């Protein structure tokens, strides 16, 4: 029987209190169990969990570089296959490693069809190096390289749609999840690991330090992202969306106003136009994935 996440991802790591990524790591290992090899990118996860001579990982774990975990995982998988071993292989990276610098390696690994599960813990910026913009940073978020200022409203672009890009590679299973829904995360990780071929799971992992909220609010913030429609938990099988979590949507400002990275949209005065644009992103998400819960009226 697989150990619990607490068993396999050891307490005593050095993540911030309330770290969404650390919670993701526990959920991942809880779902995967001990017969798993983790290939990890450079990033917060590596730094807070493996300061030599200590390690928080009770499964075999390897870090090489920022951008190559999926290529390393390809080699691990090939090596296990040759030796007739059956461990599951996970490539684990943050959004910078996944959306940006690592795309070439991920594309190669997915196109070749390795039996690996790529998991991205998405905290929507380069958090380890000081909260810089990545391809996963949402529209209007203020980061240290997309700061809000007199002539700037923060990040000018929407998040890159990486799940769709990887689904287009022929990935049999692609899913998004949020640490605010732990059972759903575990279910999707298990499904990805059980599915033959390259699978992708992207886990929304709020970052209290980078986004600017108190550590005890991580779960609440994660939940608000889903409830506003700015983050959608869905599954794609063989390239088609098969399931998406339905919600009774809340206005996006309930999510935005809780975080310092969107503070410029409310101070010195409320920016209705920009909040409207973000609401439109949520509305498009709702339409695309069909998440609006219809409440039956008698």
Question: Residues in the site for another protein, rule: CB under 8 A?
Answer: 34-37, 39, 46-47, 50-53, 55, 57-65, 68, 71-83, 87, 104-105, 107-109, 111-112
Nearer to another protein, 77 or 227 (CB): 77
Minimum Å distance from CB 25 to another protein? Answer: 13
CA 110, 114, 117, 119 dihedral sign is negative
Minimum Å distance from CB 17 to another protein? Answer: 21
Nearer to another protein, 87 or 237 (CB): 87
Q: What is the DSSP string of 138-198?
A: PTT---SSS-EETTEES--SPPP-HHHHHHTTT-SEEEEEETTSHHHHHHHHHHHHHSSS-
Token reading at 232: 């959608």
Nearer to another protein, 62 or 248 (CB): 62
Instruction: For residues 280 and 165, give the distance between their C-alpha atoms in angstroms, rounded to a whole number.
Output: 22
Minimum Å distance from CB 165 to another protein? Answer: 15
Buried b (16+ CB within 10 A) or exposed e, 165-187: bbbebebbbbbbbbbbbbebbbe
Minimum Å distance from CB 104 to another protein? Answer: 7
Nearer to another protein, 17 or 60 (CB): 60
31 touches 78 (CB < 8 A):
no
Nearer to another protein, 47 or 165 (CB): 47
Minimum Å distance from CB 271 to another protein? Answer: 41
Nearer to another protein, 77 or 100 (CB): 77
289 touches 232 (CB < 8 A):
yes
Exposed, middle or buried, 56 (CB in 10 Å: 0-12/13-18/19+)? buried
Minimum Å distance from CB 143 to another protein? Answer: 24
């Amino acid at each position: 029987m697989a150990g619990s996440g607490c068993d396999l991802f050891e307490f005593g790591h050095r993540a911030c209190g309330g770290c969404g990524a650390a919670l993701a790591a526990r959920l991942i290992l809880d779902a995967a169990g001990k017969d798993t090899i983790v290939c990890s990118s450079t990033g917060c996860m590596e730094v807070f969990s493996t300061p030599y001579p200590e390690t928080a990982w009770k499964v075999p774990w390897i870090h090489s570089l920022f951008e190559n975990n999926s290529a390393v995982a390809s080699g691990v998988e090939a090596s296990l296959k040759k030796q007739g071993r059956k461990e599951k292989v996970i490539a684990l990276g943050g959004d910078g490693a996944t959306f940006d610098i690592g795309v070439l390696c991920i594309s190669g690994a997915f196109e070749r069809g390795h039996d690996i599960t790529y998991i991205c813990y998405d905290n929507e910026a380069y958090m380890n190096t000081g909260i810089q913009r990545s391809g996963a940073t949402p529209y209007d978020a203020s980061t240290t390289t997309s700061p809000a200022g007199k002539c700037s409203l923060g990040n000018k672009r929407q998040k890159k749609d990486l799940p769709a890009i990887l689904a287009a590679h022929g990935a049999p299973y692609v899913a998004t999840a949020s640490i605010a829904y732990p059972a759903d995360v575990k279910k999707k990780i298990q499904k990805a690991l059980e599915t033959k071929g390259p699978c992708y799971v992207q886990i929304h992992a709020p970052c209290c330090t980078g986004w600017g909220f108190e550590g005890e609010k991580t779960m609440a913030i994660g939940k608000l992202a889903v409830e506003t429609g700015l983050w959608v938990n869905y599954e794609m099988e063989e390239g088609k969306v098969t399931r998406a979590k339905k919600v009774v949507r809340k206005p996006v400002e309930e999510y935005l106003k809780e975080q310092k990275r969107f503070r410029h949209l409310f101070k010195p005065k409320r920016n209705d136009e920009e909040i409207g644009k973000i609401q439109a992103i949520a509305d498009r998400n709702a339409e695309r994935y069909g998440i609006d819960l219809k409440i039956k009226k008698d």
